[in-house]
Structure 1
Amino acid sequence: MNNLQLIVGKLLPNKSNLLNVPASEIVEHICEGIYQEDFYLVRDKEVLSKIPILIRDCVLLIDFDTELNMNGIFGYLENSTGKFIDETIEVLERIGAVRDAKALNKIKKSLSNFGLKTHDLNTNLHNLKEYQINNFIQTHGITDSELLDRIQQEAENLYINNQEENIFNNLIDYIEANKQNLIDELKEYL
Protein backbone atom coordinates (compact mmCIF):
# COMPACT_ATOMS: atom_id res chain seq x y z
CA MET A 1 0.00 0.00 0.00
CA ASN A 2 1.50 3.34 -1.01
CA ASN A 3 1.34 6.60 0.98
CA LEU A 4 -1.56 7.91 -1.08
CA GLN A 5 -3.68 4.83 -0.41
CA LEU A 6 -2.83 5.01 3.27
CA ILE A 7 -3.76 8.70 3.51
CA VAL A 8 -7.03 8.28 1.64
CA GLY A 9 -7.98 5.15 3.57
CA LYS A 10 -7.36 6.71 6.97
CA LEU A 11 -9.08 10.01 6.19
CA LEU A 12 -12.42 8.31 5.61
CA PRO A 13 -14.64 6.56 8.15
CA ASN A 14 -13.99 2.83 8.27
CA LYS A 15 -17.35 1.85 6.81
CA SER A 16 -17.97 -0.71 4.12
CA ASN A 17 -20.81 1.29 2.59
CA LEU A 18 -19.93 4.99 2.37
CA LEU A 19 -23.16 5.67 0.52
CA ASN A 20 -25.03 5.21 3.80
CA VAL A 21 -22.61 7.28 5.90
CA PRO A 22 -23.93 10.80 6.51
CA ALA A 23 -21.82 13.48 4.83
CA SER A 24 -21.45 15.19 8.20
CA GLU A 25 -19.74 12.07 9.57
CA ILE A 26 -17.33 12.04 6.61
CA VAL A 27 -16.42 15.68 7.21
CA GLU A 28 -16.05 15.08 10.95
CA HIS A 29 -13.77 12.10 10.36
CA ILE A 30 -11.56 14.10 7.99
CA CYS A 31 -11.48 16.97 10.53
CA GLU A 32 -10.27 14.60 13.22
CA GLY A 33 -7.58 13.09 11.02
CA ILE A 34 -5.91 15.78 8.97
CA TYR A 35 -3.91 17.31 11.80
CA GLN A 36 -2.38 14.01 12.87
CA GLU A 37 1.29 13.49 12.09
CA ASP A 38 0.58 10.79 9.50
CA PHE A 39 -1.15 13.30 7.27
CA TYR A 40 1.42 16.06 6.89
CA LEU A 41 1.91 14.91 3.28
CA VAL A 42 -1.68 15.78 2.40
CA ARG A 43 -0.64 19.44 2.26
CA ASP A 44 1.94 18.80 -0.42
CA LYS A 45 0.51 20.25 -3.65
CA GLU A 46 1.35 17.12 -5.63
CA VAL A 47 -0.20 14.75 -3.09
CA LEU A 48 -3.24 16.96 -2.58
CA SER A 49 -3.87 17.07 -6.33
CA LYS A 50 -3.95 13.26 -6.48
CA ILE A 51 -6.47 12.49 -3.74
CA PRO A 52 -10.20 12.26 -4.54
CA ILE A 53 -11.69 15.68 -5.13
CA LEU A 54 -14.26 15.52 -2.30
CA ILE A 55 -11.54 14.67 0.23
CA ARG A 56 -9.31 17.41 -1.19
CA ASP A 57 -12.19 19.89 -0.95
CA CYS A 58 -12.74 18.95 2.70
CA VAL A 59 -9.06 19.33 3.54
CA LEU A 60 -8.85 22.74 1.88
CA LEU A 61 -11.97 24.07 3.60
CA ILE A 62 -11.01 22.68 7.00
CA ASP A 63 -7.58 24.31 6.71
CA PHE A 64 -9.16 27.57 5.50
CA ASP A 65 -11.61 27.58 8.40
CA THR A 66 -8.96 26.68 10.97
CA GLU A 67 -6.62 29.42 9.79
CA LEU A 68 -9.36 32.05 9.72
CA ASN A 69 -10.48 31.14 13.22
CA MET A 70 -6.98 31.03 14.67
CA ASN A 71 -5.16 33.79 12.80
CA GLY A 72 -7.70 35.76 10.78
CA ILE A 73 -7.47 36.58 7.10
CA PHE A 74 -3.91 37.88 7.29
CA GLY A 75 -2.74 34.68 8.98
CA TYR A 76 -4.47 32.63 6.30
CA LEU A 77 -2.84 34.60 3.51
CA GLU A 78 0.70 34.30 4.83
CA ASN A 79 0.65 30.74 6.20
CA SER A 80 1.03 27.60 4.09
CA THR A 81 -2.74 27.25 3.64
CA GLY A 82 -2.77 30.56 1.78
CA LYS A 83 -0.63 29.02 -0.95
CA PHE A 84 -3.79 27.10 -1.87
CA ILE A 85 -5.90 30.26 -2.35
CA ASP A 86 -6.76 29.42 -5.98
CA GLU A 87 -7.84 25.90 -5.08
CA THR A 88 -9.82 27.18 -2.10
CA ILE A 89 -11.67 29.69 -4.28
CA GLU A 90 -12.54 26.86 -6.69
CA VAL A 91 -13.84 24.71 -3.82
CA LEU A 92 -15.96 27.57 -2.49
CA GLU A 93 -17.46 28.00 -5.96
CA ARG A 94 -18.00 24.24 -6.34
CA ILE A 95 -19.91 23.94 -3.05
CA GLY A 96 -22.04 27.02 -3.77
CA ALA A 97 -20.42 29.40 -1.27
CA VAL A 98 -20.38 32.10 -3.94
CA ARG A 99 -20.14 35.07 -1.58
CA ASP A 100 -17.05 33.61 0.08
CA ALA A 101 -15.47 32.72 -3.26
CA LYS A 102 -16.00 36.28 -4.52
CA ALA A 103 -14.58 37.80 -1.31
CA LEU A 104 -11.49 35.60 -1.37
CA ASN A 105 -10.99 36.26 -5.07
CA LYS A 106 -11.17 40.03 -4.46
CA ILE A 107 -8.61 39.67 -1.67
CA LYS A 108 -6.33 37.76 -4.05
CA LYS A 109 -6.75 40.47 -6.70
CA SER A 110 -5.98 43.19 -4.14
CA LEU A 111 -2.72 41.43 -3.31
CA SER A 112 -1.97 41.05 -7.00
CA ASN A 113 -2.59 44.76 -7.63
CA PHE A 114 0.19 45.43 -5.12
CA GLY A 115 2.48 42.87 -6.77
CA LEU A 116 2.00 40.24 -4.07
CA LYS A 117 1.06 36.57 -4.05
CA THR A 118 0.34 34.35 -1.08
CA HIS A 119 3.45 32.33 -1.92
CA ASP A 120 5.53 35.50 -1.45
CA LEU A 121 3.87 36.19 1.89
CA ASN A 122 4.64 32.65 3.03
CA THR A 123 8.28 33.02 1.96
CA ASN A 124 8.55 36.25 3.95
CA LEU A 125 7.15 34.46 6.97
CA HIS A 126 9.75 31.70 6.69
CA ASN A 127 12.53 34.27 6.44
CA LEU A 128 11.86 35.43 10.00
CA LYS A 129 14.22 34.30 12.72
CA GLU A 130 12.93 31.67 15.10
CA TYR A 131 10.78 33.23 17.85
CA GLN A 132 10.91 36.64 16.13
CA ILE A 133 7.78 38.63 16.88
CA ASN A 134 6.48 40.76 14.04
CA ASN A 135 3.18 41.85 12.63
CA PHE A 136 1.87 41.49 9.09
CA ILE A 137 3.10 44.95 8.05
CA GLN A 138 6.64 44.42 9.35
CA THR A 139 6.93 40.89 8.01
CA HIS A 140 5.94 41.83 4.47
CA GLY A 141 7.15 45.42 4.27
CA ILE A 142 3.71 46.69 3.39
CA THR A 143 3.51 50.40 3.97
CA ASP A 144 0.29 51.05 2.11
CA SER A 145 -2.65 50.87 4.50
CA GLU A 146 -5.01 50.90 1.52
CA LEU A 147 -4.14 47.25 0.78
CA LEU A 148 -4.69 46.19 4.37
CA ASP A 149 -7.97 48.09 4.50
CA ARG A 150 -9.17 46.44 1.26
CA ILE A 151 -8.30 42.98 2.53
CA GLN A 152 -10.01 43.57 5.86
CA GLN A 153 -13.06 45.06 4.15
CA GLU A 154 -13.44 42.04 1.85
CA ALA A 155 -12.82 39.65 4.75
CA GLU A 156 -15.95 41.07 6.36
CA ASN A 157 -17.90 39.31 3.59
CA LEU A 158 -16.59 35.86 4.55
CA TYR A 159 -18.87 33.39 6.33
CA ILE A 160 -16.85 33.67 9.52
CA ASN A 161 -18.17 37.21 9.95
CA ASN A 162 -21.74 36.33 9.04
CA GLN A 163 -23.97 34.45 11.48
CA GLU A 164 -26.37 33.42 8.72
CA GLU A 165 -23.87 31.51 6.57
CA ASN A 166 -21.69 28.49 7.20
CA ILE A 167 -19.55 26.96 4.47
CA PHE A 168 -19.73 23.60 6.22
CA ASN A 169 -23.47 23.41 5.51
CA ASN A 170 -22.60 23.92 1.84
CA LEU A 171 -19.81 21.34 2.07
CA ILE A 172 -22.07 18.72 3.66
CA ASP A 173 -24.77 19.25 1.01
CA TYR A 174 -22.11 19.05 -1.71
CA ILE A 175 -20.67 15.79 -0.34
CA GLU A 176 -24.12 14.27 0.09
CA ALA A 177 -25.00 15.11 -3.52
CA ASN A 178 -21.67 13.77 -4.85
CA LYS A 179 -21.05 10.76 -2.59
CA GLN A 180 -21.33 8.28 -5.47
CA ASN A 181 -18.58 10.18 -7.33
CA LEU A 182 -16.38 9.81 -4.24
CA ILE A 183 -17.08 6.09 -4.08
CA ASP A 184 -16.24 5.74 -7.79
CA GLU A 185 -12.97 7.67 -7.32
CA LEU A 186 -12.04 5.59 -4.29
CA LYS A 187 -11.94 2.39 -6.35
CA GLU A 188 -8.50 3.37 -7.65
CA TYR A 189 -7.16 4.10 -4.15
CA LEU A 190 -8.45 1.30 -1.96
Structure 2
Amino acid sequence: MNFIDKALENNLHGDEFLQAMADIYSENNVRSVLDKYPHFIKDVITIIDYDTEIQMGGLDEIINGNMQEMFPQILQALENCGASKEASLLKKAKAMSPQEYEQKYNDLYNQLALNNDYSAFWDLVKKYIDDHLG
Protein backbone atom coordinates (compact mmCIF):
# COMPACT_ATOMS: atom_id res chain seq x y z
CA MET A 1 0.00 0.00 0.00
CA ASN A 2 1.45 3.37 -1.00
CA PHE A 3 0.76 6.88 0.28
CA ILE A 4 -2.07 7.45 -2.21
CA ASP A 5 -3.85 4.28 -1.16
CA LYS A 6 -3.44 5.27 2.49
CA ALA A 7 -4.81 8.78 1.90
CA LEU A 8 -7.82 7.38 0.08
CA GLU A 9 -8.38 4.62 2.64
CA ASN A 10 -8.16 7.11 5.52
CA ASN A 11 -10.68 9.36 3.76
CA LEU A 12 -8.34 12.36 3.89
CA HIS A 13 -9.58 15.64 2.43
CA GLY A 14 -8.28 19.11 1.72
CA ASP A 15 -4.97 19.99 3.31
CA GLU A 16 -4.47 16.54 4.85
CA PHE A 17 -4.81 14.91 1.43
CA LEU A 18 -2.54 17.54 -0.13
CA GLN A 19 0.12 16.97 2.53
CA ALA A 20 -0.11 13.21 2.00
CA MET A 21 0.55 13.69 -1.74
CA ALA A 22 3.84 15.40 -0.92
CA ASP A 23 5.08 11.91 -0.05
CA ILE A 24 5.69 11.51 -3.79
CA TYR A 25 9.26 12.55 -3.04
CA SER A 26 9.79 9.69 -0.61
CA GLU A 27 7.91 7.13 -2.76
CA ASN A 28 8.91 8.34 -6.22
CA ASN A 29 8.25 4.89 -7.74
CA VAL A 30 4.51 5.62 -7.41
CA ARG A 31 4.80 7.91 -10.45
CA SER A 32 4.80 4.83 -12.66
CA VAL A 33 1.31 3.80 -11.45
CA LEU A 34 -0.41 7.20 -11.25
CA ASP A 35 -2.61 6.32 -14.23
CA LYS A 36 -4.48 3.76 -12.12
CA TYR A 37 -5.79 6.55 -9.85
CA PRO A 38 -8.35 9.28 -10.55
CA HIS A 39 -6.83 11.99 -12.75
CA PHE A 40 -7.12 14.70 -10.09
CA ILE A 41 -4.43 12.91 -8.04
CA LYS A 42 -1.95 13.21 -10.90
CA ASP A 43 -2.92 16.89 -11.21
CA VAL A 44 -2.25 17.49 -7.52
CA ILE A 45 1.15 15.80 -7.72
CA THR A 46 1.97 17.79 -10.87
CA ILE A 47 1.12 21.01 -9.00
CA ILE A 48 3.29 19.93 -6.07
CA ASP A 49 6.15 19.29 -8.52
CA TYR A 50 5.54 22.65 -10.17
CA ASP A 51 5.59 24.47 -6.85
CA THR A 52 8.73 22.67 -5.70
CA GLU A 53 10.57 23.54 -8.91
CA ILE A 54 9.42 27.20 -8.84
CA GLN A 55 10.74 27.52 -5.29
CA MET A 56 14.01 25.72 -5.91
CA GLY A 57 14.90 26.74 -9.45
CA GLY A 58 12.64 29.61 -10.38
CA LEU A 59 10.39 30.17 -13.35
CA ASP A 60 13.12 29.34 -15.84
CA GLU A 61 13.09 25.69 -14.75
CA ILE A 62 9.46 25.49 -15.88
CA ILE A 63 9.89 27.43 -19.12
CA ASN A 64 13.33 26.27 -20.30
CA GLY A 65 14.72 23.84 -17.77
CA ASN A 66 14.06 20.54 -16.03
CA MET A 67 10.28 20.84 -16.14
CA GLN A 68 9.79 22.12 -19.69
CA GLU A 69 8.76 18.65 -20.88
CA MET A 70 6.02 18.71 -18.24
CA PHE A 71 4.80 22.16 -19.35
CA PRO A 72 1.55 20.94 -21.00
CA GLN A 73 0.67 18.80 -17.97
CA ILE A 74 1.44 21.68 -15.61
CA LEU A 75 -0.83 24.02 -17.56
CA GLN A 76 -3.62 21.46 -17.60
CA ALA A 77 -3.31 20.72 -13.88
CA LEU A 78 -3.38 24.43 -13.06
CA GLU A 79 -6.43 24.98 -15.28
CA ASN A 80 -8.18 21.93 -13.83
CA CYS A 81 -7.85 23.21 -10.27
CA GLY A 82 -8.94 26.73 -11.16
CA ALA A 83 -5.54 28.44 -11.12
CA SER A 84 -6.10 29.88 -14.59
CA LYS A 85 -4.26 33.11 -13.76
CA GLU A 86 -1.12 31.11 -12.99
CA ALA A 87 -1.54 29.03 -16.15
CA SER A 88 -2.05 32.17 -18.22
CA LEU A 89 1.11 33.71 -16.82
CA LEU A 90 3.10 30.59 -17.72
CA LYS A 91 1.66 30.56 -21.26
CA LYS A 92 2.60 34.21 -21.66
CA ALA A 93 6.16 33.55 -20.49
CA LYS A 94 6.53 30.52 -22.78
CA ALA A 95 5.31 32.49 -25.82
CA MET A 96 7.90 35.24 -25.40
CA SER A 97 11.07 35.40 -27.42
CA PRO A 98 14.15 34.47 -25.37
CA GLN A 99 15.22 38.12 -25.27
CA GLU A 100 11.80 39.39 -24.17
CA TYR A 101 11.54 36.60 -21.60
CA GLU A 102 14.93 37.51 -20.15
CA GLN A 103 13.99 41.19 -19.96
CA LYS A 104 10.64 40.50 -18.28
CA TYR A 105 11.72 37.58 -16.11
CA ASN A 106 11.63 39.44 -12.78
CA ASP A 107 8.23 40.95 -13.52
CA LEU A 108 6.82 37.54 -14.52
CA TYR A 109 8.32 35.82 -11.50
CA ASN A 110 6.90 38.46 -9.17
CA GLN A 111 3.39 37.83 -10.55
CA LEU A 112 3.42 34.11 -9.66
CA ALA A 113 1.18 32.90 -6.86
CA LEU A 114 4.33 32.07 -4.89
CA ASN A 115 5.01 35.81 -4.63
CA ASN A 116 1.44 36.97 -4.22
CA ASP A 117 -1.58 35.29 -2.67
CA TYR A 118 0.10 31.94 -2.13
CA SER A 119 -2.50 30.70 0.33
CA ALA A 120 -5.31 31.42 -2.16
CA PHE A 121 -3.45 29.33 -4.73
CA TRP A 122 -3.32 26.36 -2.36
CA ASP A 123 -6.94 26.94 -1.37
CA LEU A 124 -7.85 26.32 -5.03
CA VAL A 125 -5.92 23.06 -4.97
CA LYS A 126 -7.58 21.96 -1.72
CA LYS A 127 -11.02 22.81 -3.11
CA TYR A 128 -10.18 20.81 -6.25
CA ILE A 129 -9.29 17.86 -4.04
CA ASP A 130 -12.47 18.15 -2.02
CA ASP A 131 -14.62 18.51 -5.15
CA HIS A 132 -13.26 15.19 -6.39
CA LEU A 133 -13.36 13.33 -3.12
CA GLY A 134 -16.91 14.36 -2.34
TM normalised by structure 1 equals 0.60
> Partners of 1:48 and 1:109 in 2: how far apart?
30
> Partners of 1:15 and 1:61 in 2: how far apart?
19
Is 1:11 aligned to 2:1, yes or no?
no
For this pair of structures, how many residues does the alignment match? 134
The residue type equivalent to 1:34 in the other structure is: I
Distance 1:15 1:82, change over 3 A: same
Give matches, 1:120-159, under 5 Å: 144=99, 146-159=100-113
Is 1:105 aligned to 2:109, yes or no?
no
> Partners of 1:150 and 1:50 in 2: how far apart?
40
Give matches, 1:26-41, under 5 Å: 26-31=17-22, 33-36=23-26, 38-40=27-29
1:160 offset after TM fit, Å? 1.0
Kept in 2, the 8 Å contact 1:160–1:166? The answer is no
Match of 2:78 in 1: 92
Distance 1:68 1:164, change over 3 A: closer
Kept in 1, the 8 Å contact 2:3–2:20? The answer is no
The residue type equivalent to 1:56 in the other structure is: K
1:168 offset after TM fit, Å? 1.4
Structure 1 or 2, whichever has the larger Rg, is 1
Kept in 1, the 8 Å contact 2:7–2:20? The answer is no
Distance 1:89 1:14, change over 3 A: closer
- Aligned identity (percent) is 23
1:136-170 per-residue CA deviation (whole Å, 9 max, x = no partner) reads: xxxxxx6x3x2312344333321012146532110
Distance 1:59 1:79, change over 3 A: farther
Distance 1:97 1:11, change over 3 A: same
TM normalised by structure 2 equals 0.81
- Pick from 16, 19, 44 the counterpart of residue 25 of structure 1: 16
1:91 offset after TM fit, Å? 1.4
In terms of mean alpha carbon deviation, does 84-93 or 70-79 score higher?
70-79
Match of 2:121 in 1: 167
Structure holding more helix per residue:
2
- Across the aligned residues of Structure 1 and Structure 2, the Cα RMSD in angstroms comes to 2.5
Structure 2: where are the runs of 5+ without partners?
none
